[in-house]
Chain A
């Protein structure tokens, strides 16, 4: 794939939209939404892996961004809002869908995957969760195994962040990281996912350890953020 810098133009256009929106005295809510789309584009950049991805991105955002700039220039709050909302949804979806494969590669089967949770007061805990497995485009499963503080926290606060990485000793810039922001959807003590997770743990750590697993946490994936080496 040739190196692409077109995404910088989109990021730049959103910064221009931000400026024009402020000059036209449009609402701060709208300006924040524009900033949010810009932030997602910055995070999308490293996961664009093929010319096809770039083509898809162009199809998704190009016209909308032009509309947005024009509306910001004219000070039209409603049409700005509409264009920004559509952009937000499209870019967010694209970021998550393109990040999924990389996230699987970095999280599934990685003994150094970590899970972060917080109690009701916001105190944070981080624990190893080598069992974490992205099982489909929307869910990640984690075995409840040696995760006492995590379990306590999840009773009080269902949000979690799972992080898998491949550290480069040669250069920190070559380190690859996937972060999954998720929410506990359900717990399973039987069923196909439970059986699959138990079999995987038995294979990896033996029957004694697998027998210690009482249940599986099934999280719904809300957002994926990827950091991988790339010119952008």
Chain B
């Protein structure tokens, strides 16, 4: 699996799942087991036993819809079964379900004596729990759209709205090289069920009202989706503003508040537009994800973003976002792992790749931007899938996580307080252990 990777100039040993997990556990004993499992689960994916699949069909569980990406290493089209977005270990660490391709040697989830278990060989290893189904699932908006196609649980205390499921970067084949958004949208349209590229603000408003009825379930609301760089991102901005205002309208009706726990994962608009989000829609947090820090690799991996704004402008606007929303209320996500995509897109040497990613993390922390990870999955339809890219070793992810943790601790010492972190938390980030590490600060 890793013959092309090196560590300190030496070929990285090729290891199976068990051997690699054992090796990393021994080499990095400071990493909590569930964090390590989560990281490897995002990387290798999971498979379900027949019993687990059957048990997961229980309608009281949260079953996700593939609104934004497939998330999986293979098309989920041939087997018609439901599964949650996320499963939780008993310590509250949750991992996103990514169906693993056989060549990734995925972990298996089984159902034994009424409980879900992550298996190690034929032995139960860690107990797992799904979450209850959100109350708005199964309901429809007045225009007839199922509400789980408007907002999905992400998963224990956040809801994510994906009102725009097409990204214009794909039109000219300038999509981010790890992304499968339009492929997924095309696939979902083909599967029928009335899948559309957009949600309307009215549908968003009605869905928000339903979500807010479930008190205690939500702490954050999020909007994300595709980009539309036409007319200087003007159309994109106008559309997303109307979506954010729809959420604010519902919030105001229920709680009488203007400022809402809504964070946006969108392009970095100009400062005046960010202020409009804050002032006209009550948005409190922002995440203009750069995706890839490395100055050489960014244009190769994110050609659309590079042509649309360019890396320097992107970063400049990230900093302006901090001025608008405040320290700790701006996040920047990196798709951790793609820095080890096949050359020229990434590096083969683990040291070099870690150094590059950590540089980005350090920059963010120094500028009061919270650096987070969405760990890479090689998804069908993405450019990297087509060129046969494979995941970096588990050790790469562990080293990035440990460095981020160290830098966040340093921040606390330097400033006399922890990193001001208000955007999201470990309960709602199933795709990397970065938030889980914050629990140890």
Contact = CB atoms under 8 A, between A and B. Distances in A.
Partners in one complex: yes
Interface of A: 2, 5-6, 8-9, 11-12, 15-16, 19, 22, 42, 45-46, 171-173, 227, 230-232
B168 interface: yes
Given A171-B77, A172-B78, A231-B186, A8 B197 contact: yes
Contacts of A227: 190
Contacts of B182: 5, 8
A8 B235 CA distance: 16
Given A15-B196, A16-B198, A9 B166 contact: yes
A65 B201 CA distance: 22
B170 A15 contact: no
Nearest to B200: A19
A161 to B, nearest CB: 18
B186 A12 contact: no
A231 B198 CA distance: 19
Given A5-B173, A5-B183, 9 more contacts: A5-B170, A5-B182, A8-B166, A8-B170, A8-B186, A8-B197, A16-B239, A22-B200, A172-B78
Contacts of B73: none
Interface string B186-215: 110110000011101100000000000000
B30 interface: no
Nearest to A6: B171
A167 to B, nearest CB: 14
9 contacts: A5-B186, A9-B166, A12-B197, A16-B239, A42-B189, A45-B186, A172-B78, A173-B190, A232-B189
Contacts of A172: 77-78
Contact of A232 (B190, B200, B235): B190
> By CB atoms of chain B within 10 A, which of A9, A172, A232 has the most?
A9
B130 interface: no
A173 B197 contact: no
A15 B171 contact: no
B198 A19 contact: yes
A106 B148 CA distance: 37
B166 to A, nearest CB: 4
B34 interface: no
Contacts of B196: 15
Interface of B: 75, 77-78, 164, 166, 168, 170-171, 173, 182-183, 185-187, 189-190, 196-198, 200-201, 235, 239, 381
B165 to A, nearest CB: 8
| Majority DSSP secondary structure for residues of A touching B | helix
A173 B200 CA distance: 29
Nearest to B186: A232
A231 B166 CA distance: 14
A15 B197 contact: yes
B178 to A, nearest CB: 16
Nearest to B380: A231
A159 B235 CA distance: 44
Contacts of A232: 186, 189-190
A232 B197 CA distance: 13
A138 B189 CA distance: 29
A20 B201 CA distance: 11
Nearest to A19: B200
A12 B166 CA distance: 7
Nearest to A227: B190
B93 to A, nearest CB: 35
Contacts of B171: 5-6, 8-9
A232 B164 CA distance: 17
B189 A12 contact: no
B206 to A, nearest CB: 15
Contacts of B189: 11, 42, 45, 232
Of B78, B197, B239, most buried by chain A (CB within 10 Å of CB) is B197
A230 B189 CA distance: 12
Given A19-B198, A171-B78, A9 B186 contact: no
Contacts of B185: 8
Contacts of A45: 186, 189
Nearest to B189: A42
Contact of B197 (A2, A11, A22): A11
Nearest to B196: A15
A10 to B, nearest CB: 10
Nearest to B381: A231
A128 to B, nearest CB: 26
A231 B78 contact: no
A62 to B, nearest CB: 11
Contacts of B166: 8-9, 11-12
A15 B186 contact: no
Contacts of A12: 164, 166, 197-198
Given A15-B198, A45-B186, A9 B168 contact: yes
Contact of A2 (B75, B173, B183, B200): B173
Contacts of A15: 196-198
B180 to A, nearest CB: 10
Contacts of B200: 19, 22
Contacts of B197: 8, 11-12, 15
A46 B190 CA distance: 9
9 A-B pairs with least C-beta separation: A232-B186, A12-B197, A5-B170, A12-B166, A15-B198, A5-B182, A173-B77, A8-B166, A9-B171
Nearest to B78: A171
Contacts of A231: 183, 186-187, 381
Nearest to A173: B77
Nearest to B183: A231
A11 B166 CA distance: 9
A173 B170 contact: no
